[in-house]
């Protein structure tokens, strides 16, 4: 059965290693914070100028001067630090952030990603996404495998305006975990519980390599 | 020390003329110069180019200046959460230049720091790179980006002294320090104005050299976009 | 939060190998990593390239590493006040690259911030510009300068916590924050080590993300080069 | 009679206007701070990271962590601020400093300055001088008019390695105050008390314009 958003977030949380600094995009990526395993020590970076994002505040803790990149009210932790936007993106471009998790509208078999614009329909802007994908060594995309109208979002080539080229390393969808190699395309690593390899092949337009027995995800 | 105190927002923005380029601090509605925006609305100044990471929401922040059609161009990185903005953009009423957030921050920083151009990987191979020089360093492609400067920078701080030293609070810092340095005239509004000597020099985020005018702001609403609690 | 505490300087610099490139914070003898320098002397590591604004004095700071011939190259902006340095330089024993101080600071900042190149007016038409691209922006000439990065950055702070957050004091800040960000491995020595949560996040100068190892320093001499008083 | 160092510093102090941020080089320029007229409010910048240099400390105020660019112990004033070296030179390059006063070994009639190196003999490095002269709109040089061996230091062309091109706006020497225009050379503005125009002409190798009656300096 295909995963729900929480399932995707839980599976991505298993990719996280202790000691990492991590930037979480808006949407499913933000949910990942809730499922980081006990004992794994990480620091979450918010590109608007905070290292060490804490839990959401209680009502009497709410501070309008303390928000995350999704504009949600947050708290800080022991060891948090604050800084300006130039410093924040210096951190990102300089390769100091170990893992970036973000959503996407489309990912190509070369690791290109599109997630900021639908021409003529929706223009929210790229925010920090272009800086993140151009800079991070380790980028995991959280997304639905196919669109609501049933079209694959894992493509040979992105149809929407690009956010970054050859940058996505791994994709976790409601159906599968896939590695991306710019030279050979998607490689199927794991299936969602109850989802067949054939279903994933059907749902993937881009070049897909399936080798041997493909295990089911564990959480 | 040099005293830069002015009485209020109306006086501070008094010489902002039509067709000026402004920088406005803030990320979302966090750390925006609320008093200066209200004064701009009252002044009726038109044809503004506004450089700001976001464009406020429909009825707050820069969104108010979009409603009154005082803005002809926005340079921003993210403009979701604002239906009127998206409408003016899609209809072509408003000229919009969208930039990667880090590129925006760094171009403003470069403006203040006298760096006319720098290379960044953000936007290579995308629409943002159109017409820009691409250059390879150590096997990776980068875009040449130029500095951004403004006629006036409008920034908001938590505390400030009469010589223009500023301290921000929490994530309300965001773009304010770089914008303070990149304005020909920088106007700072503060929640708490203190005499020179009251701020610890080691904790100052924006040295007074960057600030030409400062005033004690009032009636801060500090609206929250996404009120999110555990309860 | 991630704990980066190590016991002392000897352990912190334990894996610095011959022919490493090091950045060392400080301006003159102010804000230099005294404990790390002592540990480098003890370790006997050789063939070092040292990036530091100055080279200490004959018998203190980096000057000590010059005496023992552990340094083969210096990248600095000002090396007066050091006779042994000037001798090694004029005799050709030591390779020296002299850079404008602002260019040095900005190249290090660029290294930490992922900016491979930028343009600066400093040094146009001088020896410093030899072999560098000159480019005109808005009628003025600028040089293309590249980032500087180091295998290890050795920085000194006033206070630091176990997650690597640092606060500097007075003018001992100088090059330390940029170097902290530009080192593959950054080692911070602090006068006062405190538990995570003891420092005000709003006053942190160097966020812990840049620091890989931190230790409580000891026996700071803090030698003064020009003791100057009114008395 | 030719001015001593204090005389040069006093004369330069009269160039200063209220509200200015000023960077003073090592040597005579540092002395200028002692002669800024009453009522003129300025802020002194130290490129190692301090705005608002105060007087030298009393013995019990000395702090090794608080020095100026000449490595002298200093104090701070009400309204001082501290920052790092990148920020400090951002201020300088960005044109936020209103006046730079520095020493020189040679100045050319085009406003070129040499003050950092004597090949084969002395190499102290340029420190912040190249950044300052490349960035500042208003540069005043404090120097001796001729060398100890009697050679003019106001030249057609610098003989020593250049610090910056076409940047010096004004020169104050022990003999004279001169304006520099890259196109027309030195222009004599004032004579030191008792020094004749002819003495200044003799001491100046570079092109020198003398127009009308040249007044004596006042302090």
Whole-number Cα distances in Å, A25 to A31, A97, A115, B106: 10, 13, 11, 21
Question: C209 and A91 in contact by Cβ < 8 A?
Answer: yes
- Chain B: nearest CA to D210, how far in angstroms? 37
Residue B81 covered by a domain: yes
Burial of D111-134, coded b for 16+ CB within 10 Å and e otherwise, reads bbbbbbbeeeeebbbbbbbbbbbb
Beta bridge partners of residue D108, listed in sequence order: D155
Which residue in this structure is represented by tokens 């161009």? B73
Alpha helices in C123-203 (DSSP H): 176-182
C108 part of contact set with chain B, CB < 8 Å: no
Domain count, chain A: 1
**Predicted confidence (pLDDT) at residue C81 exceeds the cutoff of 80:** no
C135 part of contact set with chain B, CB < 8 Å: yes
Residues, chain B: 231
**Predicted confidence (pLDDT) at residue D120 exceeds the cutoff of 90:** no
> What's the rounded mean pLDDT across residues D17-37?
93
Question: A18 and C113 in contact by Cβ < 8 A?
Answer: no
- Asked if residues B55 and B74 have their Cβ atoms less than 8 Å apart, the reply is yes
Whole-number Cα distances in Å, D139 to C60, C159, C225: 35, 39, 28
Question: C209 and A51 in contact by Cβ < 8 A?
Answer: yes
Give the integer Cα–Cα distance in Å for A102 and A93. 16
Residue of chain A whose alpha carbon sits nearest to that of B30: A65
B226 part of contact set with chain D, CB < 8 Å: no
pLDDT of residue D102: 95
**DSSP string spanning A74-102?**
--EEEEEEE--HHHHHHHHHTT---EEEE
pLDDT of residue A119: 87
Closest CB from A61, A74, A130 relative to B123:
A130
Give the integer Cα–Cα distance in Å for D124 and D141. 19
HEC assignment per residue over B184-216:
EEEEEEEEEEECCCCCCHHHCCECHHHCCEEEE
* Token representation of residue C4: 């980066």
A104 part of contact set with chain C, CB < 8 Å: no
User: Chain B contacts of C118, Cβ < 8 Å?
Assistant: 110, 115, 117-119
**Burial group, residue B128, by CB count within 10 angstroms (0-12, 13-18, 19+):** buried
What single-letter DSSP state applies at residue C50?
E
Taking residue D94's Cβ as centre, other Cβ atoms within 10 Å add up to 22
> What's the rounded mean pLDDT across residues A81-97?
98
- Asked if residues A193 and A214 have their Cβ atoms less than 8 Å apart, the reply is no
- Chain C: nearest CA to B176, how far in angstroms? 14
Residue D82 covered by a domain: yes
> What's the rounded mean pLDDT across residues C54-79?
94
CATH number of the domain bearing residue A174: 3.40.1080.10
Domain housing A77: 5-209
Residue C83 covered by a domain: yes
D137 part of contact set with chain C, CB < 8 Å: no
Q: Are chains D and A touching, using the cut-off of 8 Å on CB pairs and a minimum of 3 such pairs?
A: no
**Predicted confidence (pLDDT) at residue D67 exceeds the cutoff of 90:** yes
Give the integer Cα–Cα distance in Å for C214 and C217. 9
pLDDT of residue C1: 74
Residue B231 covered by a domain: no
What single-letter DSSP state applies at residue B125?
T
- Chain C: nearest CA to A96, how far in angstroms? 7
Among D84, D94, D132, the strongest candidate for a mutation testing the B interface, having the largest count of B CBs within 10 A, is D94
Residue D53 covered by a domain: yes
- Chain A: nearest CA to C61, how far in angstroms? 29
Residue B123 covered by a domain: no
**Predicted confidence (pLDDT) at residue A21 exceeds the cutoff of 90:** yes
Q: Which is it for the CA torsion B231, A31, A53, A114, positive or negative?
A: negative
What's the CA angle centered on C183, arms C177 and C188, to 5 degrees? Answer: 55
Residue D157 covered by a domain: yes
pLDDT of residue C89: 83
Question: D79 and B208 in contact by Cβ < 8 A?
Answer: yes
- E strand or H helix at C154: strand C150-161
* Token representation of residue A202: 């059907």
Whole-number Cα distances in Å, A63 to A75, B27, D121: 8, 15, 62
**Predicted confidence (pLDDT) at residue D125 exceeds the cutoff of 80:** yes
Region for B151 from its dihedrals, namely left if φ exceeds 0, alpha if ψ lies in -120 to 50, beta otherwise: alpha
Residue B175 covered by a domain: yes
A109 Cβ contact partners less than 8 Å away, ≥ 6 residues apart: A154, A155, A156, A180, A185, A186, A206, A207, A208
**Predicted confidence (pLDDT) at residue C21 exceeds the cutoff of 90:** yes
Domain count, chain C: 1
Q: Which residues of D are catalytic?
A: 47
Residue C222 covered by a domain: no
Domain housing B208: 9-117+133-216
> What's the rounded mean pLDDT across residues D191-217?
97
D76 part of contact set with chain B, CB < 8 Å: yes
Taking residue B198's Cβ as centre, other Cβ atoms within 10 Å add up to 15
Among C118, C120, C170, C204, the strongest candidate for a mutation testing the B interface, having the largest count of B CBs within 10 A, is C118
CATH number of the domain bearing residue B196: 3.40.1080.10
Question: D47 and C101 in contact by Cβ < 8 A?
Answer: yes
Give the integer Cα–Cα distance in Å for B101 and A167. 18
Residue B4 covered by a domain: no
Mode of pairing for the β-strands spanning A122-123 and A117-118: antiparallel
Residue of chain D whose alpha carbon sits nearest to that of C28: D71
A54-63, A94-103, B80-89: segment of lowest average pLDDT: B80-89
Question: B126 and A85 in contact by Cβ < 8 A?
Answer: no
pLDDT digits (tens, 9 = 90+) for A105-157: 999 999 999 999 988 777 789 999 999 999 988 999 999 999 999 999 999 99
Per-residue pLDDT of chain B (231 residues; tens, 9 = 90+): 789 999 999 999 999 999 999 999 999 999 999 999 999 999 999 999 999 999 999 999 999 999 999 999 999 999 877 888 888 888 889 999 999 999 999 999 999 999 999 999 999 999 999 999 999 999 999 999 999 999 999 999 999 999 999 999 999 999 999 999 999 999 999 999 999 999 999 999 999 999 999 999 999 999 999 999 987
pLDDT of residue D217: 95
Question: D59 and C229 in contact by Cβ < 8 A?
Answer: yes
């Amino acid at each position: 059965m295909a995963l729900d958003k929480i399932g995707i977030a839980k599976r991505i949380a298993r990719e996280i290693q202790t000691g990492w600094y991590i930037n979480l995009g808006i949407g499913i990526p933000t949910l990942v914070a809730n499922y980081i395993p006990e004992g794994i020590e990480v620091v979450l970076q918010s590109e608007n100028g905070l290292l060490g994002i804490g839990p959401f505040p209680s009502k009497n803790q709410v501070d309008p001067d303390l928000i995350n990149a999704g504009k949600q009210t947050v708290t800080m932790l022991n060891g948090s630090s604050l800084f300006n936007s130039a410093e924040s993106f210096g951190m990102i471009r300089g390769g100091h952030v170990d893992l970036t998790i973000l959503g996407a509208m489309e990912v190509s078999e070369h690791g290109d990603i599109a997630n900021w614009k639908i021409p003529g329909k929706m223009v929210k802007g790229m925010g920090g996404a272009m800086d993140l994908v151009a800079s991070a060594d380790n980028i995991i995309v959280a997304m639905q495998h196919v669109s609501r109208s049933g079209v694959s979002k894992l493509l040979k080539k992105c149809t929407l305006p690009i956010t970054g080229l050859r940058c996505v390393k791994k994709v976790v969808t409601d159906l599968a975990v896939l590695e991306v190699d710019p030279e050979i395309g998607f490689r199927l690593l794991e299936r969602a519980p109850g989802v067949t390899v054939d279903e994933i092949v059907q749902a993937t337009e881009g070049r897909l390599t399936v080798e041997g027995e493909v295990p089911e995800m564990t959480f | 020390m040099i005293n830069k105190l002015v009485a209020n927002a109306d006086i501070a923005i008094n010489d902002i003329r039509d067709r000026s380029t402004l920088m406005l601090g803030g990320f979302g509605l966090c750390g925006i110069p609320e008093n200066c925006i209200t004064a701009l609305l009252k002044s009726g100044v038109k044809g503004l180019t506004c450089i700001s990471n976001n464009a406020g929401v429909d009825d707050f922040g820069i969104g108010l200046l979009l409603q009154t059609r005082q803005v002809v161009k926005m340079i921003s990185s993210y403009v979701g959460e604002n239906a009127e903005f998206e409408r003016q953009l899609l209809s072509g009423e408003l000229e919009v230049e969208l930039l990667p957030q880090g590129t925006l921050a760094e171009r403003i920083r470069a403006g203040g720091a006298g760096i006319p151009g720098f290379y960044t990987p953000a936007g290579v191979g995308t629409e943002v790179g159109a017409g820009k020089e691409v250059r390879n360093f150590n096997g990776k492609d980068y875009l040449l980006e130029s500095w951004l400067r403004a006629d006036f920078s409008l920034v908001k701080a938590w505390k400030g002294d009469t010589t223009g030293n500023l301290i921000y609070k929490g994530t309300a810092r965001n773009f304010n320090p770089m914008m303070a340095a990149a304005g020909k005239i920088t106007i700072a509004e503060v929640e708490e104005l203190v005499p020179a000597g009251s701020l610890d020099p080691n904790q100052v985020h924006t040295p007074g050299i960057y600030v030409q005018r400062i005033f004690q702001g009032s009636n801060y609403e500090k609206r929250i976009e996404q009120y999110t609690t555990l309860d």
